[in-house]
Amino acid sequence: MIALASDHAGYDLKEAIKKHLVENNYDIMDMGTDSRASVDYPVYAKKAAEAVASGQCDRGIVCCGTGIGVSIAANKVKGIRCALVTNEFTAEMSRRHNNSNMIAFGSRVLDVQTVIRLLDIWLNAQFEEGRHQRRVEMLDRM
Ligand code: RB5
């Protein structure tokens, strides 16, 4: 199960991501927002992050204008490792080395096609464990 959330600025991007995930048979939980009307991004990022932290969802995807606000908000929830990703390398490495359980995108930073490409890389990349496991455990103790 994948949690999805955005503010108004990320709404169209969230909807495009949702369409892509549904077409590819992922189960999704949409935590809002539900329109382009102005809202506060911490509210929605927190909902998705808590769904992941509680185990209700395996991963989470959050969108806002820059991706910065939602990633900061998500990372305040214990157990969340939310990666703000802008290219293929960081999408892949955030899984391989950081075991990221959430990803953040900026709708005013990347076009939809690029986001979908990075998202698929992230969804398919595997955590390498080994020495990275120790570091991730250190993060989770902070
Ligand atoms: C909304 O205008 C914008 O501030 C928000 O989407 C996000 O970019 C904040 O980090």
Q: Identify the active-site residue in 57, 63, 64, 82.
A: 64
pLDDT in tens, 22-33: 999 999 999 999
The pLDDT value given to residue 106: 98
Cβ(9) to ligand 1 under 6 A?
Answer: yes
Give the chain's length.
142
In the chain, the largest separation of any two C-alpha atoms, in whole Å, equals: 45
Band of residue 132 on the pLDDT scale cut at 50, 70, 90: very high
In CATH terms, 2-141 corresponds, of 3.40.50.300, 3.40.228.10, 2.60.40.1930, 3.40.1400.10, to 3.40.1400.10
CA distance 60 to 71: 11
Band of residue 122 on the pLDDT scale cut at 50, 70, 90: very high
Quick one: CA dihedral 118, 20, 7, 95, positive or negative?
negative
Task: Please tell me the residue having the least CA distance from ligand 1 atom 10.
Answer: 69
67 Cα to the center of ligand 1, angstroms:
8
- Mean pLDDT, to the nearest integer, of 63-82? 98
